[in-house]
Amino acid sequence: MHDFHYVGNKLFCEGVAVETLTKKFGTPLYVYSQNTVTDHFQKLDAALGPLDHLICFAMKANSNLSVMRVLAKLGSGFDVVSAGELQRVIAAGGDPKLCVFAGVAKSESEIEFALRKGIYSFNVESEPEITRINKVAARLKKIAPIAVRVNPNIEAHTHAKITTGTYENKFGIAFENIEGVYARAAKLKNIKLRGIQMHIGSQLTQTSPYELAVTKVLPLVKKLAAKYKLEFFSPGGGLGIVYNPALASGSSAWWKTEAAKGIMTPATYAEKLLPLLQPLGLKILIEPGRFIVGNAGVLVTQVEYVKRTGKKNFVIVDAAMNDLIRPAFYDAYHEIVPLTKKAGATIPSDVVGGICESGDYFCKDRPLAKVGEGDQLALLSAGAYGFVMSSNYNARPFAAEVLVSGKQAAAARERQKVEKIWEDEKIVSWLK
Ligand SMILES: *Cc1c(COP(=O)(O)O)cnc(C)c1O
């Protein structure tokens, strides 16, 4: 489900015509639907209803303060991967006590900050990290709650850059070594073993890898939970979304047909996993990022030029890979639709940005309605791993972000002023 739809020939986000937003805020522009964020959170929350559970939104997917505030108000916790992200949680009005801290490279100062803020759990990725957390906690005279991330060595069948649950990856501790790690950690005075966690990858559209992985770790989870009085188990995040509606169905009501096509929904996720998780009697954490925000955002861009070469129709737009890197980085598909629908034939087009890299494209040879200079296009499903991965490459300022709720819309981030890009730079003294 998402709240981007046509009214007549105009693309709307909830009750607002997207072109009124580009008139006011310019392009490139990220537009988020509060209702979609809320709906996705609530669908998942309801599906997990029978369990004692906590959704920790993986904020690396979208850390805009307004988006996070929407989730904080719904009672969401957060999965953070740096002290900076934890500071963002606090800035957004979220509760550190509902936060887990993941990541393979936690520094001493990050551990100290998280301990002082009283986070729910460190999701630990290596044994030296446990030693370090224990040391910092001892210095602060605190007890650090931890969960170890078990690497179940399960292939998630997703893109190589987002698979995390096999021994080829840097994440977690090998399944076979977990018991020993818990036994050693239990002896450390400033460590409290609070849970056990895993995360096998991202953009999973089937339930089967979860079922396989959870089934594999269950006996271990039961044993450790009994031995160390663990509170929680987290099967991680990674719930996928539909980027290419053509893969889900040929109709515009594609979301409704997902279950029929075997694409995971909160209901099918719960149907398969609840029977495995419920008997544990533990609190269940999950850490979805993309599922909550992916389809809640679009990136709107304006056509600068249309350039025809012998072979190609290049639609050159004012957004580029610095605004949305997913196509270049993950070969990702984003549906591209006009803000104003036009009748007429489609032509195979490459939509490209203006950066001096041949990787700077949004699609290749995609049949799109003819567009001309000044027309505006929306790249759908850009709410996750979109703005957060943007850069200032080519001295391009960060795009603006807008949050829509019903008929209201407001800047959730002002467009960056170009001077801000070099604000922290200096001309060294001997060159002055
Ligand atoms: C990135 C990440 C997530 C969220 O992944 P999504 O695919 O966005 O749901 C959850 N847990 C951990 C440990 C992660 O690194």
Rounded to the nearest angstrom, the distance between the alpha carbon of 290 and the centre of ligand 1 is: 8
Same-domain status, 311 and 263: no
pLDDT of residue 252: 39
> Has residue 71 been placed in a domain?
no
Same-domain status, 154 and 251: yes
Report the nearest atom of ligand 1 relative to the CA of 384: 8
Residue 108's nearest CA partner among 148, 81, 146, 137 is: 137
pLDDT of residue 322: 98
> Has residue 93 been placed in a domain?
no
pLDDT of residue 245: 78
Rounded to the nearest angstrom, the distance between the alpha carbon of 163 and the centre of ligand 1 is: 10
pLDDT of residue 256: 44
> Would you state the structure tokens that stand for residue 35, as one six-digit string?
């209702």
Q: At what angle do helices 65-73 and 83-92 cross, to 10 degrees?
A: 70
pLDDT of residue 429: 98
End-to-end CA distance of the chain, in Å?
57
Q: Which residue has the tokens 């890979």?
A: 321
Domain range enclosing 341: 4-12+295-422
Is the pLDDT at 111 greater than 60? The verdict is: yes
d(CA 152, CA 161): 18
d(CA 370, CA 413): 32
Rounded to the nearest angstrom, the distance between the alpha carbon of 289 and the centre of ligand 1 is: 6
Contact 63, 40 (CB under 8 A): no
> Has residue 38 been placed in a domain?
no
Rounded to the nearest angstrom, the distance between the alpha carbon of 335 and the centre of ligand 1 is: 23
Is the pLDDT at 249 greater than 50? The verdict is: no
Contact 122, 111 (CB under 8 A): yes
pTM score, two decimals?
A: 0.95
Give the model confidence (pLDDT) of 279-310 as tens digits: 999 999 999 999 999 999 999 999 999 999 98
Whole-angstrom CA distances from 373 to 41, 45, 56, 94, 313 are 38, 44, 43, 43, 13
Cβ(288) to ligand 1 under 6 A?
Answer: yes
d(CA 293, CA 34): 9
β-pair partners for 284: 53, 233
* DSSP for 122-139, written as a single string: EEE-SHHHHHHHHHHHHH
pLDDT of residue 162: 67
> Would you state the structure tokens that stand for residue 340, as one six-digit string?
């104003």
> Would you state the structure tokens that stand for residue 51, as one six-digit string?
């369990």
Same-domain status, 334 and 227: no
Q: Mutation test of ligand 1: which of 76, 80, 241, 287 has the most ligand atoms closer than 8 Å to its C-beta?
A: 287
Cβ(172) to ligand 1 under 6 A?
Answer: no
Q: Mutation test of ligand 1: which of 121, 199, 388 has the most ligand atoms closer than 8 Å to its C-beta?
A: 199
For residue 136, name the pLDDT band (cuts at 50, 70, 90). Answer: very high
Same-domain status, 254 and 177: yes
Q: Whose CA is nearest to atom 8 of ligand 1?
A: 289
pLDDT of residue 246: 67
Q: Mutation test of ligand 1: which of 40, 67, 79 has the most ligand atoms closer than 8 Å to its C-beta?
A: 79
- Please compute the mean of the pLDDT values over residues 400-415 and round it to a whole number: 98
Give the model confidence (pLDDT) of 303-316 as tens digits: 999 999 988 999 99
Cβ(60) to ligand 1 under 6 A?
Answer: yes
d(CA 11, CA 22): 12
pLDDT of residue 247: 60
Q: Which uninterrupted H or E stretch holds 216? A: helix 208-228
Report the nearest atom of ligand 1 relative to the CA of 81: 15
- Please compute the mean of the pLDDT values over residues 99-111 and round it to a whole number: 97
Cβ(85) to ligand 1 under 6 A?
Answer: no
Is the pLDDT at 263 greater than 90? The verdict is: no
- Please compute the mean of the pLDDT values over residues 229-247 and round it to a whole number: 90
Q: Which uninterrupted H or E stretch holds 7? A: strand 4-7
pLDDT of residue 346: 94
- Please compute the mean of the pLDDT values over residues 351-380 and round it to a whole number: 96
> Has residue 216 been placed in a domain?
yes
pLDDT of residue 315: 98
> Has residue 23 been placed in a domain?
no
Is the pLDDT at 166 greater than 90? The verdict is: no
Say which CATH number the domain at 406 has.
2.40.37.10
Rounded to the nearest angstrom, the distance between the alpha carbon of 117 and the centre of ligand 1 is: 22
Among residues 265, 286, 307, the one where a domain terminates is 286
d(CA 406, CA 415): 23
Q: What b/e string do you get for 260-298 counting C-beta neighbours within 10 Å, with b at 16 or more? A: eeebbbbebbbebbbeebeebebbbbbbbbbbbbbbbbb
Rounded to the nearest angstrom, the distance between the alpha carbon of 205 and the centre of ligand 1 is: 14
List, by residue number, the catalytic residues: 356
Report the nearest atom of ligand 1 relative to the CA of 60: 1
CA dihedral 147, 152, 154, 157 (to 10 degrees): 10
CB atoms within 10 A of CB 305: 11
- Please compute the mean of the pLDDT values over residues 313-333 and round it to a whole number: 96
> Has residue 41 been placed in a domain?
no
- What's the number of domains the chain is made of? 2
- Report the percentage of the chain scoring pLDDT > 70: 94
Rounded to the nearest angstrom, the distance between the alpha carbon of 398 and the centre of ligand 1 is: 24
Cβ(235) to ligand 1 under 6 A?
Answer: no
Same-domain status, 146 and 282: yes
For residue 389, name the pLDDT band (cuts at 50, 70, 90). Answer: very high
pLDDT of residue 365: 96
Is the pLDDT at 411 greater than 80? The verdict is: yes
Q: Which of these ranges, 23-32, 81-90, 156-165, 264-273, has the smallest mean pLDDT?
A: 156-165
d(CA 102, CA 124): 7
Give the model confidence (pLDDT) of 10-44 as tens digits: 999 999 999 999 999 999 999 999 999 999 999 99
> Has residue 325 been placed in a domain?
yes
Q: Whose CA is nearest to atom 5 of ligand 1?
A: 238
Q: Whose CA is nearest to atom 10 of ligand 1?
A: 237
